[in-house]
Structure 1
Amino acid sequence: MGGDFEGQYGIVTGAGRGLGAATARMMAERGATVLLVDIDADSVEATASGLRSEGLRTHAIAMDLADESQYPALHEAISSRFGGRLDVLVNNAGGWRYSTAREITIDEWEWMFRTNVTSMFLATRAVMDIMVGQRSGRIVNVASGAAHRPRAIMPHYGAAKASVVSLTKSFAEELAPSQILVNAVSPGPIATETLRARGNLIEERAKSIPLGRVAEPEDLAEVILFLASTRNRYIVGQTIIANGVCS
């Protein structure tokens, strides 16, 4: 099966379900060998196994991306599964909790930054020298619309995702001379399993979107995969806001 990623090797984090799983599937369908990474071992193994049963080249590894001591396992997987090469990293792993500023505990604050920022920072730093040695690569970070506007019910999430936007620019500045393009995508609401489980929240969110619906995971995966492909030749350090809203 040919496509934009034929012969390439990619990593997608937070790939056990939702946007990460959709991105991994579409990258594999377009020719890549993809390593799915997630903290949930059962989920990521099941997703990768399902893709392999369809003839797609996928592997899985369960690890906590915010724990630097676990990265030798990732390096071993890149060596054994990819022959030491890496063309694409999609930093999708993250999470959120609803709390106001008055309600946020320091533990919750630290969890939010660890889950959304530390994981992305460590994953990028762990693989960037591989790409530098190749003088090629694409890194795409998943931020959030919450990074760009006030979020009184989860200000710590907005602050963490704003940090992802900032780090995207910093990594882009450092890595562009090695022909590595680093960018980000800020989604609005996505119809993932998590959002569907929250009752009528999808319908409520859709009311504020001119298109009349929230995004499907594949809608955002298309944006991610363009930035991650060699078709993207000149976009560097940018965050694409893909939320269905005309603003």
Structure 2
Amino acid sequence: MDLGFTGAATVVVGGGRGMGLATARCLADDGARVALLGRSRAVLDTAAADLARRGSPDAVAVVADIGDDAAVRRTFAELGERWGGQINALINTVGPDAAGTFEELSDEQWREAFDAGLMGMVRCVRAALPLLRNAEWARIVNFSAHSTQRQSTRLPAYTAAKAALASVSKNLSLQLAADEIMVNVVSPGSISSEALKGWAASVGVDGDDPYALMAAIDEHFGHPAHLPRAGLPSEIGPVAAFLASKRNSYMTGANVNVDGGSDFL
């Protein structure tokens, strides 16, 4: 399906690996220019080279700290200069690394969770809005998590930050409706990310086996999906890409679960 990305200017925050890279690949396959934002130069350069091979006419790796508002503003100003003062799609995939029970988490860990899980998105959207408003069409896609609806006692700060992100995204969809800028949320379920595979290894499970991974999740967390396996990043990318595309012309304010089946809406 032609998603309408040919020549479009797109930004994927956290696009160097995992679900962010899977999304960026879909954009590149459809002919989009793609800026990958992240912290690791080596990871980003490798990913950008992959996107160029896939057909992106301008795949660029941008090292940026989304915890630094001034750095975020500079980054988007530079992208605006590169791409004629406009951006068509902004996809925010970054999440916090904040595991621990309520009693275990310190104030600093709570602050870090909200800074990475919410405020990074806020800074990027705020800096990108003038460029999005300048474009013929524009979309924002933010990544939340299914743990906002199916709680884990090991993830209270992570879940709270992701729930806040979903709430702010809903508010943005209302505020930006007059500009016809669509804002949507993707809530992945148990996806075989590097972090999840790392956890699996720590409990003696092969994280590259999605069936074994889901069995371990069921045993340790009681969070099985209806399907008997974990998901793959490549199964998230196409959903996010559609929401970020010109083809999505009337869907905004939605929170889309991609979780292998669950007992919540």
**TM-score, normalised on structure 1?**
0.93
Q: CA deviation at 1:226?
A: 1.1
Post-superposition Cα deviations, 1:109-149, rounded to whole Å, max 9, x if no partner, equal 11100011000011011111222233631000000011123
Quote the residue 1:231 is aligned against: 247
Quote the residue 1:51 is aligned against: 51
**Contact 2:28 2:55 (8 Å CA) reproduced:** no
Quote the residue 1:102 is aligned against: 103
**Contact 1:135 1:178 (8 Å CA) reproduced:** no
Secondary structure of 1:197's counterpart equals helix
Q: Percent identity?
A: 30
Quote the residue 1:148 is aligned against: 149
- Equivalent position amino acid for 1:239 in 2: N
Post-superposition Cα deviations, 1:64-119, rounded to whole Å, max 9, x if no partner, equal 11210102431243134312210000011123221000000111111100011000
**Contact 1:13 1:37 (8 Å CA) reproduced:** yes
Post-superposition Cα deviations, 1:154-209, rounded to whole Å, max 9, x if no partner, equal 10011000001100111111101001000101000111222222222652425522
1:240 aligns with 2:256: yes
Quote the residue 2:221 is aligned against: none
- Equivalent position amino acid for 1:105 in 2: S
Q: How many angstroms apart in 2 are the aligned matches of 1:117 and 1:184?
A: 13
Q: How many angstroms apart in 2 are the aligned matches of 1:86 and 1:20?
A: 17
Quote the residue 1:38 is aligned against: 38
Q: How many angstroms apart in 2 are the aligned matches of 1:229 and 1:76?
A: 22
Q: How many angstroms apart in 2 are the aligned matches of 1:61 and 1:30?
A: 21
Q: How many angstroms apart in 2 are the aligned matches of 1:227 and 1:50?
A: 22
**TM-score, normalised on structure 2?**
0.87
Q: How many angstroms apart in 2 are the aligned matches of 1:183 and 1:99?
A: 29
**Contact 2:29 2:55 (8 Å CA) reproduced:** no
Q: How many angstroms apart in 1 are the aligned matches of 2:48 and 2:4?
A: 20
Quote the residue 2:16 is aligned against: 16
Q: How many angstroms apart in 2 are the aligned matches of 1:46 and 1:154?
A: 31
Post-superposition Cα deviations, 1:43-69, rounded to whole Å, max 9, x if no partner, equal 112211233245433101011112101
1:61 aligns with 2:62: yes
Gaps in structure 1 of 5+ consecutive residues: none
209-218 vs 105-114, greater mean Cα deviation:
209-218
1:186 aligns with 2:195: no
- Correspondent of 2:229 among 190, 213, 217: 213
- Equivalent position amino acid for 1:50 in 2: D
Quote the residue 1:125 is aligned against: 126
CA RMSD of aligned residues (A): 1.8
Secondary structure of 2:186's counterpart equals strand
**Contact 2:185 2:255 (8 Å CA) reproduced:** yes
- Equivalent position amino acid for 1:25 in 2: R
Quote the residue 1:78 is aligned against: 79
Secondary structure of 1:85's counterpart equals coil
195-204 vs 108-117, greater mean Cα deviation:
195-204
Gaps in structure 2 of 5+ consecutive residues: 219-223
Quote the residue 2:6 is aligned against: 6
- Equivalent position amino acid for 2:60 in 1: H
Q: CA deviation at 1:7?
A: 1.6
**Contact 1:3 1:31 (8 Å CA) reproduced:** no
Quote the residue 2:172 is aligned against: 171
Secondary structure of 2:11's counterpart equals strand
**Contact 2:87 2:134 (8 Å CA) reproduced:** no
